[in-house]
Amino acid sequence: MPSSPNMGCEMAPSADQVLKALSTIVDPDLGRDVVSLGMIKDLHISPQGQVAFTFELTTPACPVRDQFRRRAEEALQGMEGVTGVDIKMTANVRAAQGRQHQEMLPEVRQTVAVASGKGGVGKSTVAVNLAAGLAQSGARVGLLDADIYGPSVPTLTGTREQPRVVDDKLVPLQAYGLKLMSIGFLGGADKAMIWRGPMVSRAIQQMMTDVRWGELDYLVIDLPPGTGDASLTIAQSVPLTGVVIVATPQELALEIAVKALQMFRTLNVTPLGLVENMSWFVCPGCGQEHYVFGHGSTERAAQRLGVPFLGGIPLDQQIRSEADSGAPIVVSRPDSPGARAFRDLASQVAARTSIQAFRRLPVINVR
Ligand SMILES: Nc1ncnc2c1ncn2[C@@H]1O[C@H](COP(=O)(O)OP(=O)(O)OP(=O)(O)O)[C@@H](O)[C@H]1O
Ligand SMILES: [Mg+2]
């Protein structure tokens, strides 16, 4: 008999053994192993010991994506009988739970609002870059400008056309891989208008349900500043996965941000965490980082409130100039410190929304 190149094929590990090895990998955010979370798909083991599978993350912006791949390779390469490992990394953003969400936005998996206590702290800048950062990771993302008093998405994305209407629905504009909708795109929006509570609510609801968003992993919503009528109405009428609160490190601004966070909690909107904008200043001359308003105040506030600290964004003149020229810095200057900070923020936010989606899911027994 000719000697077989498949000698030792009986040594190939079983699916059970492979899954057991992979179940040592624990998702740091979800606190459970990746096998019971259902992240290992299409497992195939050849008689020669070639192990192939799909690693399905809960978000393409997963902060531990590379770490997961490395850990899986390490766990399997050391196993007896394994001759090769082929891992395909994919992502499937899980839908938020809740009936209201499914009825109102059946094709949108997660809705993330960006809010603040004070105006002018960089909410819209954060919302645009968060959305663009998520889209860069491969997610399908929409951006809804819910600031009907002072819409800024048209300026921040350099989009000004009037959306088309097809079958009684508005077709969102597109830029930087994002689907966009803002009252600023609609005729007459530049006129001074008095918005009363019910009108605010109706306009926002229409911008959600009368828009052909299509399938989205994330809909990022830029809220108006403060805890006034508009924010209140939106928090109550829009199904939100959670809210990201933007604060700046000055004491007073932070105090107001904390109040906003507590208001959202009262309305049963989950705070996904606090982000500190204008956190530090990078000296354009010497490159040194200066914490002009002190260091760590927002992180400490987050700890005190029991919410995640999602990270800081530098005070960077380029963030403003890029915004003014209609380009999110994550797209136009992807290597700048500001862009890196926004991408990290996008990963953190994506991880927090995954936690929300998984909170009530039972353990999947794949064996
Ligand atoms: N990290 C940053 N570095 C430099 N400039 C910034 C930064 N974040 C925001 N800005 C600038 O600060 C100004 C206010 O930002 P933005 O419009 O995003 O705030 P906002 O909270 O949405 O304001 P409003 O309350 O009016 O909606 C803009 O000119 C913006 O370019
Ligand atoms: Mg704004």
What's the pLDDT tens digit per position in 71-89?
999 999 989 999 999 999 9
Confidence of residue 339 (pLDDT cuts 50, 70, 90): very high
Dump strand ranges (E) for 206-307: 216-222, 242-247, 271-276, 281-282, 289-290
In a domain, 9, yes or no: no
**346 alpha carbon to ligand 1 midpoint, in Å?**
18
Confidence of residue 365 (pLDDT cuts 50, 70, 90): very low
Q: Among residues 292, 231, 282, which one has the least CA distance to residue 256?
A: 231
Q: Among residues 251, 243, 252, which one has the least CA distance to residue 224?
A: 243
125 Cβ inside 6 Å of ligand 1: yes
Over 90: is that where the pLDDT of 106 sits? no
Q: How do residues 134-143 score in pLDDT, each as one tens digit?
A: 999 999 999 9
List the CATH number of the domain containing 325: 3.40.50.300
In a domain, 103, yes or no: no
3-class SS shares of the chain: helix, strand, coil, % to 5: 35, 20, 40
Confidence of residue 98 (pLDDT cuts 50, 70, 90): low
For residue 81, what are the domain limits? 15-91
Confidence of residue 187 (pLDDT cuts 50, 70, 90): low
Numbers of helices and strands, H then E, in the chain: 12, 15
If asked whether residues 184 and 331 sit together in one domain, one would say yes
If asked whether residues 57 and 115 sit together in one domain, one would say no
Ligand positioned closest to the Cα atom of 316: 1
Q: Among residues 208, 236, 218, which one has the least CA distance to residue 108?
A: 218
Over 90: is that where the pLDDT of 93 sits? yes
In a domain, 121, yes or no: yes
145 Cβ inside 6 Å of ligand 1: no
278 Cβ inside 6 Å of ligand 1: yes
If asked whether residues 39 and 127 sit together in one domain, one would say no
In a domain, 8, yes or no: no
CA 338 to mean position of chain CA atoms:
17
If asked whether residues 64 and 126 sit together in one domain, one would say no
Q: What is the pLDDT of residue 114?
A: 95
| Cβ atoms within 10 Å, residue 27 | 21
In a domain, 363, yes or no: no
CA distances from 15 to 8, 106, 234 (A): 17, 36, 48
320 Cβ inside 6 Å of ligand 1: yes
If asked whether residues 186 and 84 sit together in one domain, one would say no
Contact 348, 63 (CB under 8 A): yes
Dump strand ranges (E) for the chain: 40-45, 50-57, 84-91, 108-116, 141-145, 165-166, 169-170, 173-175, 178-182, 216-222, 242-247, 271-276, 281-282, 289-290, 309-312
Over 50: is that where the pLDDT of 35 sits? yes
List the CATH number of the domain containing 68: 3.30.300.130
Look up residue 181 and give its amino acid.
Answer: M
Over 90: is that where the pLDDT of 215 sits? yes
276 Cβ inside 6 Å of ligand 1: no
Ligand positioned closest to the Cα atom of 253: 1
If asked whether residues 46 and 122 sit together in one domain, one would say no
**292 alpha carbon to ligand 1 midpoint, in Å?**
17
If asked whether residues 119 and 58 sit together in one domain, one would say no
147 Cβ inside 6 Å of ligand 1: yes
**119 alpha carbon to ligand 2 midpoint, in Å?**
7
If asked whether residues 279 and 154 sit together in one domain, one would say yes
118 Cβ inside 6 Å of ligand 1: no
Confidence of residue 188 (pLDDT cuts 50, 70, 90): low
Q: What is the pLDDT of residue 83?
A: 94
Last residue of a domain, one of 58, 91, 124: 91
Contact 241, 110 (CB under 8 A): yes
In a domain, 101, yes or no: no
Ligand 1 binding pocket mutation candidate from 118, 124, 234 (most atoms within 8 A of CB): 124
308 Cβ inside 6 Å of ligand 1: no
Q: How many domains does the chain have?
A: 2
Contact 260, 225 (CB under 8 A): no
315 Cβ inside 6 Å of ligand 1: yes
Its sign, for the CA torsion 123, 129, 132, 133, is negative
In a domain, 33, yes or no: yes
Contact 128, 157 (CB under 8 A): yes
Q: How do residues 280-302 score in pLDDT, each as one tens digit?
A: 988 877 878 888 877 889 999 99
Q: What is the pLDDT of residue 364?
A: 46
**367 alpha carbon to ligand 2 midpoint, in Å?**
49
Q: What is the pLDDT of residue 86?
A: 96
Report which DSSP code applies to 306: T
Confidence of residue 190 (pLDDT cuts 50, 70, 90): low
Q: Whose CA is nearest to atom 11 of ligand 1?
A: 320
Last residue of a domain, one of 28, 58, 91: 91
If asked whether residues 141 and 199 sit together in one domain, one would say yes
**119 alpha carbon to ligand 1 midpoint, in Å?**
9
Nearest atom in ligand 1 to the alpha carbon of residue 318 is 4
Contact 353, 24 (CB under 8 A): no
If asked whether residues 140 and 255 sit together in one domain, one would say yes
Q: Whose CA is nearest to atom 1 of ligand 1?
A: 315
- Measured distance CA(324)–CA(72) in Å, rounded: 44
Residue of 219 and 234 predicted with greater confidence: 219
Establish how many alpha carbons lie within 13 A of residue 137's alpha carbon, considering only the half-sphere containing its beta carbon. 35
Ligand positioned closest to the Cα atom of 118: 1
Q: What is the mean pLDDT of residues 194-201?
A: 71
Phi/psi class of residue 310: alpha, beta or left (left: φ > 0; alpha: ψ in -120 to 50)? alpha
Last residue of a domain, one of 59, 91, 123: 91
Return the exposure string of 291-313: e unless at least 16 CB atoms fall within 10 Å of the residue's CB, then b. Answer: eebebebbbebbeebebbbbbbb
Token pair for 278: 């204008």
Q: What is the pLDDT of residue 204?
A: 83
**275 alpha carbon to ligand 1 midpoint, in Å?**
14
Q: How do residues 149-162 score in pLDDT, each as one tens digit?
A: 889 999 999 998 99
**340 alpha carbon to ligand 1 midpoint, in Å?**
17
If asked whether residues 234 and 337 sit together in one domain, one would say yes
In a domain, 366, yes or no: no
Its sign, for the CA torsion 115, 257, 345, 352, is negative
If asked whether residues 177 and 251 sit together in one domain, one would say yes
**267 alpha carbon to ligand 1 midpoint, in Å?**
26
| Mean pLDDT across the chain | 87
